[in-house]
């Protein structure tokens, strides 16, 4: 495939994913509303067991009346398009349709597996939340440590695939070539995946997570394209396209929420794509807003434990801190989008400078 064909396929698949998402999103919304797929009570307890009065006050109406589980729009659309074009490609003589097949062993098998597997786990959690089963005092759902264990298992499979099946054992040092890690590539892969899974706390305001991930995956798609990973670039474009359809219904005021079935798949897949594009050291820029969100929760919990209950932020994660200080939800969302766009542009500039 030529670069010109690749970029046409990438952009077309992104647009097609958005159109397919737009086509069935209204039906999904009606289904979620019909079955009252929302939380039955607002979470009142933080992960450390302390009460969360500010969070509860901010979310006392939104979370118990807006459907969740809309993340299925993202991963089901992506998975369906992958299967459709993988089925069509060997059965047609049209090069145009062959170029739309973005399923390949070396580039997209493992991120697609990660997306679907983590999203199904998230869907199970969402179903328990909606049924108000599990950790009832936190609103229901799978215990956090159990979710971490499953994500760890997914990360372990991914690390094994990269290291033992694909033979990867090095990371790219910016402007300084490759650095061989050997077996240590495996624990690094697992640590990064778990670290970005912790950034799932970003899914807390209308449009916030959807916009951030759309920018992040678009950036990785551009990076993959510059490195001639055309199937992976198309995969990222498809996810970004589905996020456009999702955002149409999720921007303030949100008609539905992503839920764990969206956020778990996106956070874990983002880590896999970072390794596939050999861009792990660019994650502090590409995933900047995700990192500060997860970091704010870690700092808050550490401060409360080490400083006898004293807090750094009014409420964590960080977007709720600004909300508590008087920023409107759209202000927080759009400013976080802008920060994400700026840091992602800087990351892509680094990529381009390296190629000079």
> 261-318 pLDDT, tens per residue?
999 999 999 999 999 999 999 999 999 999 999 999 999 999 988 988 889 999 889 9
Predicted local distance difference test score (pLDDT) of residue 187: 95
**Distance between CA atoms of residues 106 and 50, nearest Å:** 46
Nearest alpha carbon to residue 196 among 120, 108, 247, 272: 272
End-to-end CA distance of the chain: 23
Residue-level pLDDT, tens digit, the chain, 356 residues = 888 999 999 999 999 999 999 999 999 999 999 998 888 766 655 555 556 666 666 665 666 778 999 999 999 999 999 999 999 999 998 888 999 999 998 899 999 999 999 999 999 999 998 887 655 445 567 888 888 898 999 999 999 988 888 888 899 888 888 899 999 999 999 999 999 998 888 988 999 999 999 999 999 999 999 999 999 999 999 999 999 999 999 998 899 999 999 999 999 999 999 999 999 999 999 999 999 999 999 999 999 889 888 899 998 899 999 999 999 999 999 999 999 999 999 999 999 999 87
Predicted local distance difference test score (pLDDT) of residue 204: 81
Neighbours of 39 (CB within 10 A): 23
Q: In whole angstroms, how far apart are CA 50 and each of 45, 53, 64, 132, 325? A: 6, 10, 21, 20, 21
Q: Is 48 helix (H, G, I), strand (E, B) or coil?
A: coil
Q: Which residues contact 171 (CB under 8 A, 6 or more apart)?
A: 178, 179, 181, 185, 188, 278, 280, 281
Q: Residue ranges per domain, the chain?
A: 3-354
Predicted local distance difference test score (pLDDT) of residue 42: 65
Rg of the chain over all Cα atoms, to the nearest angstrom = 20
Predicted local distance difference test score (pLDDT) of residue 229: 96
Exposed e or buried b per residue across 68-88, where buried means at least 16 C-beta atoms within 10 angstroms of its C-beta: bbbbbbbbbbbeebbeebeee
Nearest alpha carbon to residue 113 among 73, 85, 148, 153: 153
């Amino acid at each position: 495939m030529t670069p010109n064909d690749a970029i046409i396929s990438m952009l077309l698949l992104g647009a097609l994913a958005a159109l397919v998402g737009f086509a069935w999103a209204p039906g999904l919304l009606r289904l979620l509303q019909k079955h009252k797929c929302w939380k039955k009570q607002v979470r009142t307890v933080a992960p450390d067991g302390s009460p969360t009065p500010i969070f509860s006050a901010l979310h006392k109406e939104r979370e118990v009346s807006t459907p969740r589980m809309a993340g299925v729009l993202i991963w089901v659309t992506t998975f369906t398009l992958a299967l459709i074009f993988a089925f069509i490609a060997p059965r047609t003589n049209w090069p145009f349709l062959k170029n739309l097949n973005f399923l390949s062993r070396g580039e997209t098998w493992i991120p697609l597996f990660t997306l679907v597997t983590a999203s199904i786990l998230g869907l199970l959690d969402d179903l328990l939340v909606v049924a108000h089963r599990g950790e009832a005092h936190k609103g229901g759902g799978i215990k956090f440590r159990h979710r971490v264990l499953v994500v760890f298992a997914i990360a372990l499979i991914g690390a094994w695939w990269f290291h033992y099946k694909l033979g990867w054992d090095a990371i790219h040092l910016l402007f300084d070539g490759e650095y061989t890690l050997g077996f240590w590539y495996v624990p690094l892969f697992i640590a990064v995946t778990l670290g970005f899974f912790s950034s799932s706390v970003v899914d807390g305001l209308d449009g916030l997570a959807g916009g951030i991930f759309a920018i992040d995956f678009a950036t990785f798609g551009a990076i993959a394209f510059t490195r001639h990973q055309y199937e992976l670039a198309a995969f990222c474009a498809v996810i970004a396209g589905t996020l456009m359809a999702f955002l149409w219904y999720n921007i303030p005021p949100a008609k539905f929420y992503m839920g764990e079935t969206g956020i778990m798949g996106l956070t874990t897949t983002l880590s896999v794509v970072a390794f596939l594009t050999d861009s792990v050291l660019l994650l502090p820029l590409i995933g900047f807003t995700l990192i500060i969100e997860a970091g704010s929760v870690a700092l808050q919990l550490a401060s409360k434990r080490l400083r006898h209950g004293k807090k750094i932020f009014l409420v964590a994660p960080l977007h709720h801190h600004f909300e508590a200080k008087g920023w409107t939800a759209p202000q927080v969302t759009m400013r976080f989008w802008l920060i994400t766009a700026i840091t992602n542009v800087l990351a892509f500039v680094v990529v381009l400078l390296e190629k000079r």
